[in-house]
Amino acid sequence: MSEQTFTESDRTDAVEPDMVDQNRAPKSEAPTSGVQPMNMIQALNSALHVKMAEDPNVLSFGEDAGYFGGVFRVTDQLQQKHGLTRSFDAPISECGIVAAAIGMGSYGLRPVVEIQFADYIYPAYDQIVSEAAKLRYRSGGQFTAPIVVRSPYGGGIFGGQTHSQSPESLFTHIAGLKVVIPSNPYDAKGLLTAAIEDDDPVIFLEPKRLYNGPFDGWHEKPVSPWKTQDLAQVPTGKYIEPIGKARIMREGSDVTILCYGTMVWVSLAGAEHAGVDAEVIDLRTLVPLDIETIEASVKKTGRCVIVHEAPKTSGYGGELSALVQERCFYHLEAPITRVTGWDTPYPHAFEWEYFPGPQRVSDALKSVMSGQNTGAR
């Protein structure tokens, strides 16, 4: 920053000269309509820009989520385009970030907060569970918590024990929360838009291994870019993907695969590797769950494999397994099986042994088709 642009006003207003002072911020404008290839980072960023331009009550904040634009650049240029009071940095206090958002929401704002990694969300757990999830019920509907808690989750990036966790089942267990996990840029933008407009708290987990491409688990191969995928062709304007509706990524007749996040692309690769005619369902929303789509598919195929990255014990796959068994028991031709992470902290030295890859999915599919399934892999 040169001395020529550093004015006396800059010296006294507590705003850094290369930040955007709200008083001089440009008017928020939504992008013109059209379709562009986007990766998931760009799609999420677009959703935030569009909603902040449309609704002055929408704001974004978190650790390094203002001036810097987020460690993964999802909030890039929000401060420059929408002003310092609508996109700003927060102290390193996840509990404080979510608590502030809850208060803002109760006063009519719609905050979207970023928790830098899902591994850091635990200090905020009390505020999410005891305040955000309960506010509508405790106040008899007089107050709500229309907040979105965004956070990158999952492994495959050599993040070790503290940057690779998948804590989704900690939130699916809490009544009053919605839990959303997109697997592609198109859904990411549409679902984030829907989450921002929702009057109840939404935990929005972003599979960081998919930020820059549809990673299928074959880690020895070069990364494939999003631009070659149909689901990376994203409208630049506003659109909504409904919360609570699954997407059938591949139709099939032999076995149903239930998955979400990075495991959607791993499951597609695993089915191809096994040579099995699998129907792959991207849940997209864990709560509320599109149980109708699941039930129809399993009754058609007679078999079910559940894939998720989190540890097996008490993972969301256990709930899915119970629901499928309750609703489809007499249609099942083989036991339900789960392909998951191990019941250990994420090991930095054994990334691909822990990560549920396409080979493990393929083995599970072959086992289910042969009738020799042991229940979990």
Q: What does the pLDDT look like over 257-275, one tens digit per residue?
A: 999 999 999 999 999 999 9
CATH number reported for the structural domain that contains residue 137 in this entry? 3.40.50.970
Is the predicted pLDDT of residue 21 greater than 60, yes or no? no
149, 295: one domain: no
Q: Is 28 among the domain residues? A: no
In angstroms, the CA 36 to CA 262 distance is 22
In angstroms, the CA 100 to CA 293 distance is 37
Token representation of residue 289: 């769950």
pLDDT of residue 29: 55
Token representation of residue 20: 């955007």
pLDDT tier, 161 (very low <50, low <70, confident <90, very high otherwise): confident
The domain containing residue 303 runs over which residues? 247-370
For the entire predicted model, the pTM comes to 0.90
Q: Are 122 and 100 in contact (CB under 8 A)?
A: no
122, 203: one domain: yes
190, 56: one domain: yes
Provide the mean pLDDT of the chain. Answer: 91
Q: Are 106 and 127 in contact (CB under 8 A)?
A: no
Q: Are 376 and 340 in contact (CB under 8 A)?
A: yes
pLDDT of residue 2: 38
206, 255: one domain: no
Reported as half-sphere exposure (CB side, CA atoms, 13 A), residue 44 has a value of 32
pLDDT of residue 159: 87
170, 149: one domain: yes
In angstroms, the CA 215 to CA 207 distance is 10
178, 290: one domain: no
In angstroms, the CA 325 to CA 175 distance is 22
pLDDT of residue 31: 56
337, 188: one domain: no
221, 351: one domain: no
Q: Among all chains, which residue has been given the structure tokens 């989704």?
A: 168
Is the predicted pLDDT of residue 341 greater than 60, yes or no? yes
191, 81: one domain: yes
Q: Is 82 a catalytic residue?
A: no
**Domain count across the chain:** 2
163, 173, 219, 348: the active-site residue: 163
Q: Is 3 among the domain residues? A: no
161, 297: one domain: no
